[in-house]
């Protein structure tokens, strides 16, 4: 939604943080909607050689209740050692495969841990093969966004001037203290707001 801010904190006993944080650009018709939060922990769906947890969209008969403004697919897949898996996917989706641990080949091309593989739209089945150590990965997808955007730090807009305005609004809240109201809301109990970096001395360009 418009102006989401959040806080990230760990307990004193935390020694390792491990996860993936994903941000989704909203289409123009929905990008100024009110901020919202939905927590969803999907149950596992199991089949021969795989375990899936679907957190966006639907896959293997499991559907996420999380609301999206464009069709999206998001799932964690855990593959047994030496597993061959054919994943049914919408043909209009472009796909990303992010390997977390183990080894996997995507349509015959091996991925390295922390590497993101990309596949253009046009397939209805995605073929995965894990190595002898199995694999854990994220499967992400959706139709091509089709709108040009400008990204800078944590801001996403449609042109340079919007980014300038968003940064100014953020800096005003930073200057006002942790409980200062504004576009980006207030996170209860937050200790500080991180100032935004300086803008470059050139106009930011849009990209697809």
Model pLDDT for residues 96-118, shown as the tens digit of each residue: 999 999 999 999 999 999 999 99
pLDDT of 181 reads: 87
Q: What is the mean pLDDT of residues 88-101?
A: 98
What is the per-residue pLDDT across 116-153, written as a single tens digit (0 to 9) for each?
A: 999 999 999 999 999 999 999 999 999 999 999 999 99
Is the pLDDT at 66 greater than 90? The verdict is yes
Residue 126: C-alpha distances to residues 30, 74, 81, 106 (Å)? 30, 14, 18, 8
Q: Which of 18-32, 68-82, 112-126, 180-194 has the lowest mean pLDDT?
A: 180-194
pLDDT of 189 reads: 75
Which secondary-structure segment (H or E) carries 130? strand 125-142
pLDDT of 2 reads: 84
Residue 95: C-alpha distances to residues 88, 166, 193 (Å)? 12, 30, 34
Residue 100: C-alpha distances to residues 70, 112, 174, 181 (Å)? 26, 9, 35, 38
Percent of the chain residues topping a pLDDT of 70: 100
Cα distance between residue 73 and residue 63, in whole Å: 10
């Amino acid at each position: 939604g418009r102006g989401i801010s959040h806080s990230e904190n760990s307990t004193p006993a935390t020694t390792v943080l491990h996860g993936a944080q994903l941000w989704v650009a909203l289409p123009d018709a929905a990008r100024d909607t009110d901020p919202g939060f939905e927590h969803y922990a999907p149950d596992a769906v199991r089949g021969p050689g795989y375990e899936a947890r679907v957190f966006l969209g639907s896959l293997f008969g499991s559907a996420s209740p999380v609301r999206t403004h464009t069709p999206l697919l998001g799932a964690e897949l855990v593959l047994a050692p030496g597993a061959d898996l054919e994943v049914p996917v919408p043909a209009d989706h472009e796909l990303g495969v992010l390997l977390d641990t183990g080894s996997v080949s995507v349509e015959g091309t091996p991925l390295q841990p922390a590497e993101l593989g990309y596949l253009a739209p046009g397939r209805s089945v995605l073929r995965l093969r894990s190595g002898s150590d199995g694999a854990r990965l994220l499967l992400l997808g959706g139709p091509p966004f089709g709108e040009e955007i400008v990204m800078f730090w944590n801001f996403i807009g449609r042109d340079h001037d919007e980014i300038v305005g968003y940064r100014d609004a953020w800096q005003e809240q930073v200057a006002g203290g942790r409980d200062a109201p504004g576009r980006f809301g207030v996170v209860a109990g937050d200790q500080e707001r991180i100032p935004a970096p300086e803008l470059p001395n050139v106009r930011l360009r849009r990209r697809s």
